[in-house]
Structures are given as C-alpha cells and as structure tokens.
Amino acid sequence: MAKVYGRIAAVLAAVMLTASVSAGCAEKEEAGKEVQPAGTATPAPTPYIEIWRDITNSTIPLEKDGPYSKMIQKDTGIGIYMPVVPWDGGNTYVQRLNTRIAAGDLPDLFLPWKGNETALMKQGALADLTDLLPKYAPSVWSRIPKEMWDIVRSADISGKGRIYYIPQVQTYTYYGAYIRKDWLDRVGMKMPATKDEYVEVLKAFRDKDANGNGDPNDEIPLIGREQGRWMDHIFGMFGVAMWEGYPMWDLYDGKLTYSAVTPNMKAALEFARMLYAEKLLDPNTLLNKSEEWTSKIYNDKVGNYFHINYGQAGRVENIAKVNKDVNLVALPLPKVEGYNGFITKTQLNKPQWVIANKNEQTTINALKLLEWAADPKNADKALLGVEGMHYEVKDGKTVILPPDPAKQEARPLTSFITDLDQVKKEMALEVSSANPTKLPAYQQREKLLLEMQPFGKTIAGDGMPASIFEGFSDLKNHTMYQEYMANIILGVMPISKFEEFVDKWNKNGGAEVTERARAWYDSMNKK
C-alpha cells in the first residue's frame, strides 16, 4: 500500500511541476503583450441571418456589410444577408428554395411557398416558435389577434397546436381590379356596373384607339397570366373564391367547398371562354409570365387587369412614361344576375415567415429581426429603408428616391401585420415625402385602395392549413383545375367537360380532402 501511495505522490508532484512551468511560461508570454484594461472584453462577433423572400424591386444581393444590413445591425445587433432569388410569380423562387431544401441547407428565415411548410414541419425542419415568440417578438405576438394564432396552431400536423410559422395578417381588402378611366373617356363609355356593360366596354377597348396612340389594333382589353392567374375579378363576379388565380375554399350551399368544383366556377369559365373567343381577353393570357404581363401594362396596352391594391403607384408611374394622361381607377365589381360577387379577402393572407430548425440562438435572432419589423416605433424605418439609397432628406423633408433595382438593396424586413389605418399612415408618409413627379401616382394609388374596400369578403377557408392536402400534392397545387381551366377557356374542351373535371377531382382525392377541410372548419367554429 505504501508503494501505491508513493506512486500517486510522484504523479501529483509531476503534475504540479508541469503546471508551475506552464504558468511561468504563460507569465513571460503575457509580459510581451499589451495589457487589457480591467473590465474590458473582446466584442462578440455579429451574428448573421440568411433571409429569403419574395423580392421584385432589386437585382442586387443583400451583403452582410451592406447599408441595409448595417441599419438593421445598429438597432438589433444582428446582421442579415440575402442572395438574389428571382421571384417570377413564385415559380423560380420555389424551385430554388426546393433545391436548398433537398440539399438540407435551408435559409435561416424565409417565406415558404405553395404549402411546402407542411412537408417541412413533417421533416422537423422548422423551428417550434410557440414558447420563444412572446419573449423575443412581443410586438408580433400581441399585434396578431388570438383568432389568427388559433388558425396558425391548427396547421400543426402533430395536433398539439404548436406554432411553426408567422402569418401575414391583412385586415383590409388587399386585391382589386383596375380600369383605365382615360381609355373609358376616349371611347366614350361610362364605368360598367353590370356584366353586359363590362363586355361592351371591353369591346370598345378592342375596336377603338383607346390609348390614343393612333393605332386602333394594339389595345388589350383584359389581361391575365399563365395558369389562369391574376384575373380574379372575372371569377369573383360569379362568387368564386379565388386568390391570385388559385381557387380557394368558401361556403357554398352552407358547406365548405373548393370553389373550383362549384356551379359558380362553371359559369365563370363559360364567361372567360367567351371573352377569349371574342378577343377581349389577351390571347397570350395563359402564356404571359410576370415580366411579359408587366411590360404590356407599362407600355400602355392594357385596359383592365387585377392585382395588389397597394402596389399600383409604381404601375401608374411607369405607364405615365408612355402616356402622361394615364388615369387608373378602381373597377367596381360588375354585377351578374343570380350571383353575389366579391373580391376574395383573407385576413391570414399566407404563411409569411418560417425559421429553419438549426439551433435556439438562430431562432431567437430571427425572431428579434421580425420583432424589429413589427414594432410600430420602427414603422418609418421599415418603410423608408436606408437614407441615401432609398430616400434622402432635403431641407428637412423626406423624399423617396426613384426606384433603381440595380443600385438599391431590397428591404425584406417590412411590416407583415397591416390594417387599413396603418396602410393609410404609410401612404400619407409616402405622399408627404414624394417629389412632385411621383405625387400623382401616390394619390391615384390611395384612391384606388379606398374605393376597392367595399368589394372584399373574408372567405370561410381563411387560413386553412395546407396539411388538408397531405398525400394529394397535385390537388394542393391546383394541377387538375389548371389543366381543365386552360382547355375550356381556349376552346379545346367543351364546357360540358366541367362535370368530368368535378368527378375526376373527387375520385382522385378531392372527396377525402373535402372531408378534412370541413372537419377543420367545424373545429375552428365550435361554439
């Protein structure tokens, strides 16, 4: 036993000797260094969050050390960066995003698209925000109504009511139809109030020199986009719930139903078919990509179109470069006998943000960024962007600079919780800061938005989770509807094929999806 203790003592002595030598060397090494003042520490490196979302107003990436990131860092201590991801109506964006998903390399904070948040939840790829939200994003938590959070919780495929996404909440009518009042005046027509009057106006646009450029053959009375998108008003006239060209769910005969399989849709398709045959609807409507659609509007070729209310100032401004007399106004939804028309309104517009499930600190940092965007005290900063890049101050007055996608960075952290009062305040800020050349466009935009409000109706399927389509991705993506819709409008299929579509849709999962949708609706509306 004495030998054992002797060996232990020898080892301890050796360890102590080594520690003593190491300490001495360290003292000599430190002596050659500048001594740090007491109480100071090396600053922690700035954390950065990679963001992806729908951007159409910039063609340059957001750099970590760029002006916009530095502005955010100053307030939050967190930097951001974002590559250039073409939007293209969401098509190119979702392709690029799916490539990152497949590689297991998700952006930190991003906009999900076409319901892919459901698959990501199932894979455990999204952060559970339930417990962290109130602490790190209190403005987000408090400003979104409880009933909206209840809808978000219903999307949890585990059934536990957890929160996996931040919604875009809009309590005003976000979309609308627009018509060129200067065209109406030029062809001697009044604002149409009924379907028949609307058709007569479109015929006048087709046959006369409505844009006043001397060529009576270059006008497009009505325009839409590929996949039958962005002409929602000609469906809404017949009471079809439609969101950006995608059929939605609403109450028909008192039951929650996919609007694409209703008699209302059949009537709307028959109307669209007639418009196409009469060359009142752009013959390239089902081929128009976002850029082509935009170009035709900007080049003073289009008399009537459908889009987002808030974004029309830029459209007026661009059309004015070709036709200084542009007067864009709201088109009241033409009445159709036997139908209650409306513009689809969704207060829970869509999942706006999800956070990749990487680690708790990444989740916290991302939530802090969303808090910055949602906090009312940052409203002006979020709207205006970077001084010198997006706006400037002249003689004490804020002036928004003209759009320059090649030089101006995108502003991804804008408010995602908006009501009409807030939108009015934002518009007032833009009007007060606008230079004289931009002022008419802003004034027209404000008039458009206010005139469109009476036509919005919140649909019964507002906020319904994409998980109801689990196992039926073709139905979720509206593939079958788009096939029949296109062929019926083009005249390739007779309108009688609509019944075949309804039958096929139900037999290929539609009946099961409808059962799930109605169960969800009942659960959300329990007394």
Give the per-residue SS3 of 306-352.
EEECCCHHHHHHHHHCCCCCCCEEECCCCECCCCCCCEEECCEEEEE
For residue 248, which amino acid is it? Answer: M
CA 102 to chain centre: 23
In contact, 378 and 384? CB cutoff 8 Å: no
For residue 214, which amino acid is it? Answer: G
In the structure, how many helices (H) and strands (E) does the chain have? 21, 18
In contact, 377 and 200? CB cutoff 8 Å: no
Q: How far apart are CA 483 and CA 203, in angstroms?
A: 28
pLDDT tens for each residue of 319-341? 999 999 999 999 999 999 999 99
CB atoms inside a 10 Å sphere around CB 337: 7
For the chain, give the number of residues: 527
Q: How far apart are CA 49 and CA 362, in angstroms?
A: 7
Collect all residues with Cβ–Cβ distance below 8 Å to 345 and sequence separation of at least 6. Answer: 173, 174, 456, 457, 458, 459, 462
In contact, 486 and 375? CB cutoff 8 Å: no
- The closest of 308, 347, 301, 349 to 330, measured between CA atoms, is 308
At 71 the three-state DSSP class reads helix
Question: What DSSP string describes 357-386?
Answer: SS-HHHHHHHHHHHHHHH-GGGHHHHHH-S
Q: How far apart are CA 183 and CA 193, in angstroms?
A: 16
Task: Enumerate residue ranges in the chain where pLDDT < 70.
Answer: 1-41, 433-435, 527
Q: What is the mean pLDDT of the chain?
A: 89
In contact, 400 and 433? CB cutoff 8 Å: yes
Question: What DSSP string describes 460-507?
Answer: TTTT--GGGGTT-HHHHTTHHHHHHHHHHHHTSS-TTHHHHHHHHHII
Enter the pTM of the model.
0.79
Structure tokens that stand for 237 in this block: 């006239």
For position 4, what pLDDT does the model report? 36
CB-neighbour burial class of residue 12 (10 A; exposed 0-12, middle 13-18, buried 19+): exposed
At 208 the three-state DSSP class reads coil
pLDDT tens for each residue of 343-359? 999 988 789 999 999 99
**Phi and psi torsions of 360, nearest 5°:** -65, -35
